[in-house]
Amino acid sequence: MAARSNSKGAARSHCILRGRAHSRRRACGRGSRSGSRGTGSDHREKGRRRRCCARSGCKGKSSKREGAEEVIQFRILIRSTPFASLTTSFWIFDFATVEEKPIRLVAGLGNAGPQYAATRHNIGFMVADQLCAQFGSTWEKSSKWDALLAKCGAVLLIKPTSFMNRSGYPLLAVAQFYKIEPQEILIILDDFALALGRLRIRARGGSGGHNGLESIIMQFGTEDIPRLRIGIGEAPREGSVDYVLNRFFDEEKPLVRSTINRAVNAVKSAIDNGLVSAMNTFNKIEET
């Protein structure tokens, strides 16, 4: 799409595959040039309070998507040349290459052991358990790694049993053994910075203070690991460790059950339709 005019004082605009924000000034046909580039948000998850416990303890239906690659780059140039003082300015919008890989490994995070069962910190385990049950699969104790494994179609399910703060070790070993890239993994974890019932899917970002996710990022050496954060209710400023290791209140349990169901559907959507589709559907705030 293009529209141009070579006469002075006229406007010119066109669209090409590129993108940044620039500004250029000229005085009487000659002068200095200045430019500024706008940098888009990488959607990193920042500003969260430190979280997670400080204790030492602490493929479904096979998607036929081969991995979609989409490039959307858009440029708009608007130029005006009024009289002697010539000013040229244009905005360029760049949507960088987006490569979406199919999910091949789903990891639910939590702490192993009956004393941690059904605690807020273990909601990742709860979602993985329900996902496993819906596919009619069963957990098997790995003889190689500290993990429970289950096969759901072409997707591998894993629950690290190395305790939350060391989740990255068995997960990396499993990913390397099956030649699974970080972008092909979906992590399911709790988030006490989100209200109970909220879901948030991201393709990348920091740990947000979650020690389990921090361990995974450290072991893989990248933040480009998709994750599904599940709100467990905002923790008090003091006593967050005790909060995440406590069980849900009785009055919260109906919402917890519906949240787990939505989280399972979100995982299935990410597997079958891709992360972007799952984000658009499940990152919305549920109306009560």
Local confidence band at 10 (pLDDT 50, 70, 90 cut-offs) = very low
pLDDT at 52: 56
Residues pairing with 21 in the sheet: 91
In degrees and rounded to multiples of 5, residue 280 shows phi and psi of -65, -30
Residue 166 CA to residue 146 CA, distance in Å, equals: 10
pLDDT at 230: 98
Residue type, 103: I
Q: Which H helix or E strand runs over 228?
A: strand 227-231
pLDDT at 50: 47
**Model confidence pLDDT, tens digit, residues 62-87:** 444 444 444 333 343 434 444 444 44
pTM tops 0.85? no
Local confidence band at 286 (pLDDT 50, 70, 90 cut-offs) = low
Local confidence band at 100 (pLDDT 50, 70, 90 cut-offs) = confident
Least confident of 18-32, 119-133, 135-149, 151-165: 18-32
pLDDT at 173: 98
Is the Cβ–Cβ distance between 177 and 258 less than 8 Å?
no
Residue type, 181: E
Average pLDDT in the 140-145 region? 94
Average pLDDT along the chain = 77
Local confidence band at 57 (pLDDT 50, 70, 90 cut-offs) = low
Is the Cβ–Cβ distance between 76 and 91 less than 8 Å?
yes
Domain boundaries, the chain: 2-39+69-99, 102-282
- Return the structure tokens found at 249: 């209140």
pLDDT at 240: 81
Active site residues: 121
Higher pLDDT pick, 203 / 93 = 203
First-to-last C-alpha distance (Å) of the chain: 45
Give one word for 274, left, alpha or beta, with left for phi > 0 and alpha for psi -120 to 50: left
- Sequence-separated (6 or more) residues with CB below 8 Å from residue 116: 57, 110, 122, 245
pLDDT at 45: 45
Local confidence band at 128 (pLDDT 50, 70, 90 cut-offs) = very high
Any idea which fold 102-282 has? Rossmann fold (3.40.50)
Q: What angle do CA 119, 124, 126 make, to 5 degrees?
A: 65
- Sequence-separated (6 or more) residues with CB below 8 Å from residue 146: 160, 161, 162, 166, 169, 170
